[in-house]
Chains A and B, each alone.
Chain A
Amino acid sequence: MGRKRFRFDFWVLITIIVFALFALFMVLPLAKLLVSGFIDPSTGEWSLKNFQTFFGRKYYTNAIFHSLYISCTVTILTVILGTLMAYLTSTFDIKGRGFIQILVIFSMMSPSFIGAYSWVILLGRNGLFTNFFANLGISLPTIYGFHGIVLVLTLKLYSFIYFYVSGAIKKVDPAMLEASQSLGCSPAKNVVKMLIPLVLPSLLAAALMVFMTSIADFGTAMLIGEGYRVLPVLVYRAFMGENGSNANFAASIAFVMVTLTACLYFLQKYIINKKSFKMRSVKTIQRRPIKGFKAVLAHIYVYGVALLSVLPQMTVIVTAFLKTQGSRFVRGFSLDSFRSAWKTIISTTRNTYLYGATAIVLIVLIAVFVAYLSVRKRNALTSLLDVVTVFPYIISGSILGIMLLLCFNTKPLILSGSAAIIIIAFIIRRLPHTLRSSVGILYQISPSTEEAAISLGSSPQKAFFKMTFMLMVPGIMTGAIMSWVTVINELSASLILYTGGTKTLSVAVYEQVSRGNYGAAAAIASVLMLTTIISLAIFMKATGSKEYTM
């Protein structure tokens, strides 16, 4: 009685593999990094010296406040900008809504540092607008520092808020607004008392994403921040420093940053979870016509924000075809920029798509398995896998890069300089998008589908692949597309992990920008944007949009 036989089946094997990967590429490198922050680089002994240096100097501690200040400002601005935009486009009849949608999607499809560098081209010391206005005798405020970072990140990240809130408004049952009105609430008051509270969970989730993204953002602050130091830049500088790398010091800053982001993440998550509820509605809110002065204002706002957010992309494409002289653009068009960067373009495009494709295939596989384990085979062990989704939120790209490099540049496993290490970084950073989709779709697939296949004679793993996996694939695509776009635009981890032979497009753009070759940078960036769009089209075509109702 009560004997419990352990059966070594397919899912036990998968569990072991997933946990081995998890331990090897996430837990071990992070532990090594955090520990190395406590080692004195000169003596190699345990010490708190790195932390004393960090907390002893305002130069460093200021960065904590700078980072928080930036993230809070960006979050507040994006919430205002994005919510208003979502509200206008989903409740009023705004002309050309499809076009707006395309503009916003387009603005999301390039790395944020491209925004930074475009704004430098336009409003920087030698910027096109700066010079234009200077000729008229007007001097524009500086783009460098706090204002620049906020501008770039806000215009980049408001789209998250816009999409989340639009999605949430779509799920609001109009009957709820009608009910509220029937109870005596005026339409204007309805927005404040019903609509906003109903979309609040989605808004908070998006705001959290914006906050965590902006606190971890590295490229923007690096290009446009100048003297305004933030944590990711400090980590990068300490690691790649001009006066010699100090990995231990970089690790101690990383330790501070990881602790900070982890605390903030869990605090915010706690608040959000307390406020979360689910909505589902068959009917959606009808868009009302809008007339007169109000209509003009609404259109100016919506088009203004959307166009402003794609301005960097436009700038990049236009300047790619401008003639250059050193780092300056001169009158006239030419293909010189493309010609000069041609070799780089070829090799980095190949690298980007080769690594990206490998990463996305593995991302989909791992996401499906992890989702399955944590939903269907839930126990104390597999619930640990939830950390996988949180990890990239807390560990910023540059820190991930450093920890992988520190961990795998010695025997027994040397990966530094290889393509593998970049692919691993891609997978860890971009897995959560696909994983979230996988978990979502899995909840919609009844476990009995798989059991039915088993009852008809399929082995458990066959039943999984023929039923659950096949049914999951269409639903995973939204997440996989997000993973894909962000993989091929990844900068901060690749920047630390690349070598001459494994350079990717975004790294190449960054390199050219930092050398002042704005023409070549624009050419490479245009290739990145164009191929992103093409790959997306192929991706969507290839996977089709079959969805099964269950």
Chain B
Amino acid sequence: MSKEIIIEHAVKRYDNVTIIKDLSLRIGNSELFTLLGPSGCGKTTLLRMIAGFNTIEGGTIRFGDTVINNIPAHKRNIGMVFQDYAIFPHLTVAQNIMYGLKEHKVPREEAKQRVEKMLRLTKIEEYRDRLPERLSGGQQQRVALARAIAIHPDVLLMDEPLSNLDAKLRVEMREIIRDIQKQIGITTVYVTHDQEEALAISDRIAVMNFGDIQQVGTPQEIYTRPFNVFVADFIGRSGFFYGEMEGEGSRRRIKLSKDYSLEMDNILPSASNGRVIVGIRPEEFYIAEKGLTAKVRKATYLGKYITYVLEFDDCSIMENQESIEFSQHLGNASALHRVGDTIKLAAYEQRVNVFSIETKESIIRGVARYGQETVSL
């Protein structure tokens, strides 16, 4: 039954190229754990190492107490859902689900019952005798899920399962996946490059880049308290400013322009003063008497809110940013602004994030790469 996954100092190398240098991670029992990152960050590579389709060049991966490094894929007792579903096109829906049960030598009667249960659980009972070519993408996805969990695997692995579906179906399917995962309580590793999907579905997320873990945490931790500039930029949107920090202990003042400063009370006491990076999300700004002077370059109406693309000239912003935005919630907006207007913007000090200029890591108190549940390795 469901087991925790412990990865210790895992290494992946193809010939001379090292994809994953030294990666450690603990995925708790029954947890829905997401590997999130841009393409080429090593998330699928790691998933396939867990599945057994990629060799492991160093370190260990364990399911519970069992080291699985040298167990071939077909004996690992995993359930896997593939990006292209990999439904067997020459077998009917029911036969697809039955396939793994036969391989696992589940007695006939029990196997039949399990197929029925899976068909019901994934709501595809009416298609049981159809060949997959006559199913829609969403239905194929359900078959793939039913087939994977029917064998009662130790862990469930999902490789970008929703990326081939249209936007509406994607939202619907991710709810279904989450519900079913919670219902059967199986340890699940879920790979995606879609941050919204990751935030919506996960118990915890590992943000990856360059084959390395950037941050592990709950969706909320990762969004509100990103561990470094990469995470702050990759998850949601952040505008990055340079500021001058002064003061002592937790209470510091960060000067963003000659007449606007942030009064912080949650800075790491050991953080050194001087130049820092301040990350401010579009919704972390508000219109104020006193603030940064910004000119509206572009306004995009999105129903619930308006997003303004801003131009600043009295403060120093970080290089290589596409744009800095402010989103104004229309529920409580007092006035709308037009392109060309000049506005004053202040930021919610409790919510902005501050990063060291050298390490690009957060200097907000209590923010850690491995979150609260630090892996002791």
Contact = CB atoms under 8 A, between A and B. Distances in A.
Nearest to B101: A456
A11 to B, nearest CB: 13
Interface string A436-466: 0000000000101101111111111001000
Contact of B104 (A457, A459, A463, A470): A457
B88 A453 contact: yes
A455 B151 CA distance: 10
B79 interface: yes
B74 A455 contact: yes
A457 to B, nearest CB: 3
Nearest to A7: B72
7 contacts: A1-B11, A1-B58, A2-B11, A448-B82, A452-B88, A455-B51, A456-B79
Contacts of B57: 1-2, 4
A392 B360 CA distance: 62
A467 B104 CA distance: 17
A2 B18 CA distance: 11
Interface of B: 11, 13, 51-53, 55, 57-58, 70, 72-75, 77-80, 82-84, 86-90, 99-100, 103-104, 133, 144, 147-148, 151, 157
Contact of B90 (A455, A458, A463, A471): A471
Contacts of B13: 2
Nearest to A548: B89
Interface in A351-390: none
A328 to B, nearest CB: 59
Q: What band does the interface of chain A fall in when counting residues whose beta carbon is under 8 Å from B? A: 20 to 34
Contacts of A410: none
A4, A451, A460 — most chain B CB neighbours (10 Å): A451
B155 to A, nearest CB: 11
Given A1-B11, A446-B86, A451 B53 contact: yes
Given A456-B99, A459-B74, A451 B147 contact: no
Contact of A451 (B58, B77, B80, B103): B80
A550 B73 contact: no
A467 B53 CA distance: 17
Contacts of A449: 86, 88-89
A5 interface: yes
A243 interface: no
A452 B86 CA distance: 6
Given A2-B13, A458-B74, A463-B74, A452 B89 contact: no
A549 interface: yes
Nearest to B58: A1
Contacts of B84: 446, 448
B135 to A, nearest CB: 11
A448 B148 CA distance: 13
A470 B90 contact: yes
B90 A451 contact: no
B89 A549 contact: yes
Contact of A2 (B58, B72, B87, B148): B58
A548 B72 CA distance: 29
Contacts of B58: 1-2
Contacts of A471: 89-90
A457 B103 contact: yes
A460 B84 CA distance: 20
B133 A549 contact: yes
Contacts of B89: 449, 471, 548-550
A459 B147 CA distance: 17
B52, B75, B82, B103 — most chain A CB neighbours (10 Å): B103
Nearest to A451: B53
Given A457-B100, A457-B103, A451 B151 contact: no
A5 B87 CA distance: 32
B73 A454 contact: yes
A456 B83 contact: no
Contacts of B86: 446, 448-449, 451-452
A456 B58 CA distance: 26
A2, A4, A452, A460 — most chain B CB neighbours (10 Å): A452
Interface in A536-550: 548-550
Contacts of B11: 1-2
A2 B87 CA distance: 35
A549 to B, nearest CB: 5
Contacts of A467: 88
B70 A457 contact: no
A1 B57 CA distance: 6
Contacts of B99: 453, 456
Nearest to A5: B70
A458 B103 CA distance: 6
B260 to A, nearest CB: 52
A446 B83 CA distance: 11
Contact of B151 (A454, A456, A463): A456
Given A1-B11, A2-B13, A455 B80 contact: yes
Contacts of A452: 80, 82, 86-88, 144, 147
Given A1-B11, A2-B57, A456 B103 contact: yes
Contacts of B55: 4
B72, B87, B88, B147 — most chain A CB neighbours (10 Å): B88
Minimum-distance CB pairs A-B, first 5: A456-B100, A457-B103, A448-B86, A452-B86, A455-B80
A38 to B, nearest CB: 41
B74 A457 contact: yes
Nearest to B133: A549
A457 B151 contact: yes
Nearest to B78: A455
Contacts of B70: 5
B154 to A, nearest CB: 12
B53, B86, B133, B157 — most chain A CB neighbours (10 Å): B86
Contact of B74 (A1, A5, A454): A454
A459 B73 CA distance: 8
A42 to B, nearest CB: 54
B133 A460 contact: no
Contacts of B103: 453, 456-458
A451 B55 CA distance: 14
Nearest to A456: B100
B156 to A, nearest CB: 10
Contacts of A457: 74-75, 77, 100, 103-104, 151
A459 B100 CA distance: 12
A68 to B, nearest CB: 45
Nearest to A9: B72
Nearest to B100: A456
A362 B360 CA distance: 63
A458 B55 CA distance: 18
Nearest to B48: A451
B74 A548 contact: no
Interface in A501-550: 548-550
A524 to B, nearest CB: 42
A274 to B, nearest CB: 30
Contacts of A4: 55, 57
Contacts of B144: 452
Nearest to B74: A454
B2 to A, nearest CB: 16
Interface in A388-446: 446
A6 B158 CA distance: 29
B83 A448 contact: yes
Contacts of B83: 448
B232 to A, nearest CB: 34
Contacts of A470: 90
A470 B151 CA distance: 23
B104 A455 contact: no
Given A448-B84, A460-B74, A548 B100 contact: no
A548 B89 CA distance: 6
Nearest to B99: A456
B363 to A, nearest CB: 34
A377 to B, nearest CB: 14
A426 B352 CA distance: 76
Interface in A462-511: 463, 467, 470-471
A455 B88 contact: no
